Structure 1
């Protein structure tokens, strides 16, 4: 009996199965684009394929309908026509065999349905809706595919090669499962991702009894929008035992992380470093020495005003293995979100990223920058953490030659749902920020390109803007 949603149970209309095809016969009867797509799919398997194309429109196919005897040894049969009359005829012929039948796009004529497939070599993932919503299945596949990187093909080949040897070495199922958990987070698997399968197998077997060693990944979370995560960052988040993250990492990104991972919030705000940097170093070293897979998750990119360099130095000094995964930095993400080019043939031939935050966090100390170079016209200046020092930055730039009516765009919570943009000019920058103080992280884009901004969907405050003719 099928129980509907009103009973609190969702019925699974089809059971996804894995069908081995090595040395088995598959028969395809069809014509047109649908038949070509199915033939392409079947040819990625080790099956023996026989194709009948009664409309004689497929190359290397028998240009006729099959005889019953030619279907007797089929492991499964696929009929693919866009015309129902032809599909019904093909299905009728297929029924002379006892082989399971799939009729493309006509689930009522079929014994089974072919799911939307993520192909990663010996690892394949199917998404099925019982034949009722194939477009939904394809869209779901696309989302899953983004989370399963192409390198999983190599990992699957590595696992297939290692599996029988591991089964011989570790007969107990539970012990073997624990061994696999260690192996799949070990350097051997990283070696396999690079295509060095034999070396990866040898390394895994050599270290089979070795204690698990910790590793730290410095990972860029991007400017806020979870869809701007790299595939590698997404994979590392799903594998992490421990996640150490800052306040610039949005909830949407953390929602993608492994559910049972230990999470440590080490967020910093202006003049309020909840966890000092040296304590962050100690935390990362401590967790890695416990044999954990640690992800140090940073907003934007770890190496762009993210203190990633300091953390790498501390980890290496402690003898901890460390890897860096770059992220979309705030300057690129926020500018793209506002459709403002940081360089432009007519308006800006160079771009510079600076921080408006002094090393010691004391804003009474002047910023030590080459203001003459930064004040050049047709040059884009992107200021990170510049809200508190906006008046000093504007004064220094205008004093060194930058025009007071130079356009400025302030982007708060860039790429997020609550993004807010304030368009102003250099002479009014400090007063504009004072009148509309950002509540979240903000980026300041100074230069002629800011004038190219046009109000779109985000909340925008536009101050009086004067632009040189």
Structure 2
């Protein structure tokens, strides 16, 4: 049995592009004795892990859970007490719908030291990679980041509240609830509000659909968009096309 102090560090891996992981996260991975990682983590990041560390995949793929959440919690405690430093590597930021806080609380109650390394959330970075700013003077003074599906597998009530505001609305894990989301925004008369859906953002497999509240469902079908994806609703979506138009104009001017 190791005499190392049992410790859990919850680490955000970023949204997909391996260059978006933080320097601190890489340093922590190099000190790990055990790493538990999720399905949304870019597996190229595993190259940064201490080569002596045990690596355990605990994510969900194709609707199948390798471990239930309770099992993951217990596994963290068991490995920390047996080997020392456990790193829980999660996609995006572990405190943005990542259950990082739940895992930390569970293991802390059992005497395991805890720490967190924030990650770049997909809610920010995926939109930014498509030149969609979540706030912009004259378009949006604030933004909501909402889970599309609650732990009871229902649509979040906050989406109805957000639809009444002028804020940019970012919905994570919401593709299965898209028809309901559309109806909530239509009920507020926002039929023509711009919408972007970005699948596997910041990665080479990225796919994008741009439309309005009224057209986005047909665009999803046309482009075969599916999870993992984020939904962005707001006037700021127009900025993407504005940048493309400016770039195209400059390109045309150079040719001319």
What TM-score, normalized to structure 2? Answer: 0.88
1:405 partnered with 2:197: no
- Residue by residue over 1:164-204, the C-alpha shift from the partner in whole angstroms, topping out at 9 and shown as x without a partner, is xxxxxxxxxxxxxxxxxxxxxxxxxxxxxxxxxxxxxxxxx
Name the structure 2 match of 1:430. 217
Q: Cα–Cα, structure 1 residues 413 and 370, in superposed 2: closer, same or farther, change >3 Å? A: closer
- Residue by residue over 1:280-332, the C-alpha shift from the partner in whole angstroms, topping out at 9 and shown as x without a partner, is 10110110010321110000001001011111111111111110110000011
Q: Cα–Cα, structure 1 residues 211 and 256, in superposed 2: closer, same or farther, change >3 Å? A: closer
- Residue by residue over 1:434-469, the C-alpha shift from the partner in whole angstroms, topping out at 9 and shown as x without a partner, is 333335521111110011113999xxxxxxxxxxxx
Name the structure 1 match of 2:248. none
Q: 2:163 aligns with which of 375, 394, 397?
A: 375
1:393 partnered with 2:181: yes
Name the structure 2 match of 1:52. none
Name the structure 2 match of 1:177. none
Q: Does the Cα contact within 8 Å between 1:353 and 1:382 map onto a contact in 2?
A: yes
Name the stretch that deviates more: 213-222 or 248-257: 248-257
Once the two structures are superposed, the pairs formed by residues 444-459 of structure 1 within 5 Å of their partners are 444-454=231-241
Name the structure 1 match of 2:20. 228
- Higher gyration radius (CA): 1
Q: 1:247 aligns with which of 39, 55, 75?
A: 39
- Find the aligned partners of 2:54 and 2:101 in 1 and give their Cα distance: 24
Q: CA deviation at 1:255?
A: 2.4
1:259 partnered with 2:47: no
Q: 2:101 aligns with which of 309, 313, 334?
A: 309
1:415 partnered with 2:202: yes
- Find the aligned partners of 1:426 and 1:402 in 2 and give their Cα distance: 10
| Secondary structure in structure 2 of the residue aligned to 1:239 | coil
Q: Does the Cα contact within 8 Å between 1:385 and 1:442 map onto a contact in 2?
A: yes
| Secondary structure in structure 2 of the residue aligned to 1:319 | coil
Q: CA deviation at 1:371?
A: 4.4
Q: CA deviation at 1:234?
A: 0.6
Name the structure 1 match of 2:142. 350
Q: Cα–Cα, structure 1 residues 374 and 326, in superposed 2: closer, same or farther, change >3 Å? A: same
- Residue by residue over 1:230-260, the C-alpha shift from the partner in whole angstroms, topping out at 9 and shown as x without a partner, is 1110101111111100011012222222233
| Secondary structure in structure 2 of the residue aligned to 1:453 | helix
Q: Cα–Cα, structure 1 residues 456 and 251, in superposed 2: closer, same or farther, change >3 Å? A: farther
- Find the aligned partners of 1:296 and 1:279 in 2 and give their Cα distance: 14
| Secondary structure in structure 2 of the residue aligned to 1:389 | helix
Q: Cα–Cα, structure 1 residues 368 and 329, in superposed 2: closer, same or farther, change >3 Å? A: closer
Bigger relative CO (Cα 8 Å, ≥ 6 apart) = 2
- Residue by residue over 1:65-101, the C-alpha shift from the partner in whole angstroms, topping out at 9 and shown as x without a partner, is xxxxxxxxxxxxxxxxxxxxxxxxxxxxxxxxxxxxx
Alignment gaps of 5+ in structure 1: 1-209, 458-469
Name the structure 2 match of 1:299. 91
Q: Does the Cα contact within 8 Å between 1:391 and 1:429 map onto a contact in 2?
A: no
- Find the aligned partners of 1:370 and 1:439 in 2 and give their Cα distance: 22
- Find the aligned partners of 2:92 and 2:115 in 1 and give their Cα distance: 16
Name the structure 2 match of 1:321. 113
- Find the aligned partners of 1:455 and 1:414 in 2 and give their Cα distance: 20
Once the two structures are superposed, the pairs formed by residues 11-410 of structure 1 within 5 Å of their partners are 211-269=3-61, 271-361=63-153, 365=154, 367-376=155-164, 378-399=166-187, 401-410=188-197
Name the structure 2 match of 1:151. none
- Find the aligned partners of 2:158 and 2:149 in 1 and give their Cα distance: 15
What TM-score, normalized to structure 1? Answer: 0.49
